[in-house]
Structure 1
Amino acid sequence: MTEQCGVPRNIRLLVSYDGTDFSGWQRQSSDRSVQGEIEAALERIHKKPVSLSGSGRTDAGVHAAGQVANFYTDIRNMAPERFIPALNALLPRDVRVLESLEASPDFHARFDAKLRTYRYYIIPGRRGLPHELRYAMQIWRTPDLELLNTYARCLLGETDCSVFASPKDPSKSRSRYIEQAYFFSEGGFLVFEISANAFLWKMVRSILGTLLYCEEKKISPGEFREILRSRDRTLAGPTAVPQGLFLWKIDYYRS
């Protein structure tokens, strides 16, 4: 594990984590972060600091089933898959490396991402069990699935997402290409899945909160489109709580 020579290898990781007790993905100077935990484990393996790049940032309390990250290593005598047990032995139980492989030298987890998919889990019209409440939002009604999906279809394509944007979002453009957005039932949960080329800060939670708000108020699809066109955040619904949200998977142009 210590023989080092030649050009650094680029290692791509598939990472899952329970975001409950983290300040988010991005390393912080004092608060606990997922990136910080993995970089600390990599430093112990390499005996020096190692920088980790992620496919995107998740906020405090948000989970991941399929976060992708990459780092460069000058360790030559270690098969890429051996980083899985090596890292998991050093990481806390709420972060797991699921896959490790050698990527092309110029692969970048963030900049090469083609599509990012999130899922949001909702407990509808029933009392959630304690372990479920850690990973889903409780609502005390059963929403109209057909109406929710009618709204969701209005989001598809190149969409100005200003109505879902936080005032603190630094993005210059608030236009995003939304590939898919739909609701479905799964094992006692209502699930919202959305895929886009990129997302604004808190955008998925803002969309989900708005869709549920509009459904509860029985707003017509035409009125929903007017809300979208307004670009006015005050006309949309509340931002949903973080614990139901999962970064589900990342699709790439190349590996």
Structure 2
Amino acid sequence: MTDTGDVQRNIRLLIAYDGTDFSGWQRQGRRESGMEQNRTVQGTIEDALAKLHKKATIITGSGRTDAGVHAVGQVANFFTPLRGMEAQRFVPALNSLLPRDVRILEARETLGDFHARFDTRSRTYRYQLICGRPALPHELRYGLQLWRRPRLDLLNDYARLLHGEIDCSLFTPPQDPGLSRLRYIFGAFFFVQQDTLLFEIRANAFLWKMVRSIAGTLLHYEEKKLPPGEFKKILVSGVRKLAGPTLPPQGLFLWKIECHRDG
């Protein structure tokens, strides 16, 4: 592999990870030893890139998943001076340096000004619930046990109201650092696969804990059999104390990223 000096190639990655043992995606501060204060996905990949490049290399992700949240479709990019290495070779090279709970699925050279975060048009998340039966041990790592079987029709009556530009104050804690609570939601729905209930939602961006709060709120009011018209009033109110419980992180997956440009 040859270092080209100032010439930088932009490499786009598709990444999957088991978020159970991570403190989220975003890199955190490092101790004097150089180790992260808490284990993160970004920091772990950057450690592998540093070994490959023999110097610090920053990677930018399309979404900042919280602690315990998984991904099968995270998109990220980094710049490399290596010209003698075909882009797809970063897949085995990085996977050989990464722990088993992070996998690089694809790597390709992209536009020089492609930015994984700013070029993202939409983010899709899924939440998994095991309904009406005891979950198998491995399922509890990636889903939430729900002992009852909720009404799918009523849940989707609520979910259909989540469309367009919405003030999402109802669905995020007051500590969320975002300056605006407005988000554009392209669509949301529930569906069933065998004994697994899945909630899928696609939006331009999400607030802190927003997806888990939405899923918990819809299930909360479905159990109360609240008419959809009454739920719409709660949604429009934006009053945080009217939200249902925020579901735990283990059932949540960053499922897909769509970009403005193919890159």
- TM-score range with shorter-chain normalisation? over 0.9
Whole-angstrom distance in 1 between the partners of 2:18 and 2:194: 20
Query: Does the 8 Å CA contact 1:11/1:72 hold for their aligned counterparts?
Result: yes
Offset of residue 5 of structure 1: 3.6
Whole-angstrom distance in 1 between the partners of 2:110 and 2:51: 22
Structure 1 segments of 4+ aligned residues over 2 angstroms from their partners = 1-6
Offset of residue 6 of structure 1: 4.7
- In structure 2, what is the equivalent of residue 220 of structure 1? 227
Whole-angstrom distance in 2 between the partners of 1:132 and 1:170: 33
Q: Does 1:158 align with 2:165?
A: yes
Q: TM-score, normalized by length of structure 2? A: 0.95
- In structure 2, what is the equivalent of residue 97 of structure 1? 104
What is the aligned length?
255
Which residue of 89, 101, 113 maps to 1:82?
Answer: 89
Q: Does 1:56 align with 2:63?
A: yes
Query: Does the 8 Å CA contact 1:2/1:46 hold for their aligned counterparts?
Result: no
Q: TM-score, normalized by length of structure 1? A: 0.98
Query: Does the 8 Å CA contact 1:5/1:76 hold for their aligned counterparts?
Result: no
- In structure 1, what is the equivalent of residue 34 of structure 2? none
Query: Runs of 5+ in structure 2 lacking a partner?
Result: 30-36
Offset of residue 230 of structure 1: 1.3
- In structure 2, what is the equivalent of residue 145 of structure 1? 152
Query: Runs of 5+ in structure 1 lacking a partner?
Result: none
Offset of residue 3 of structure 1: 3.3
Q: Residue by residue, what CA displacement relative to the aligned partner does 1:28-53 show, whole Å, maximum 9, x if unpaired? A: 22000000000000000000000010
Q: CA RMSD in A?
A: 0.8
Amino acid in structure 2 at the alignment position of 1:13: L
Query: How does 1:56-205 map onto structure 2 within 5 Å?
Result: 56-205=63-212
Amino acid in structure 1 at the alignment position of 2:12: R
Identical-residue share of aligned pairs (%):
65
- In structure 1, what is the equivalent of residue 54 of structure 2? 47
Amino acid in structure 1 at the alignment position of 2:166: T
Offset of residue 13 of structure 1: 0.3
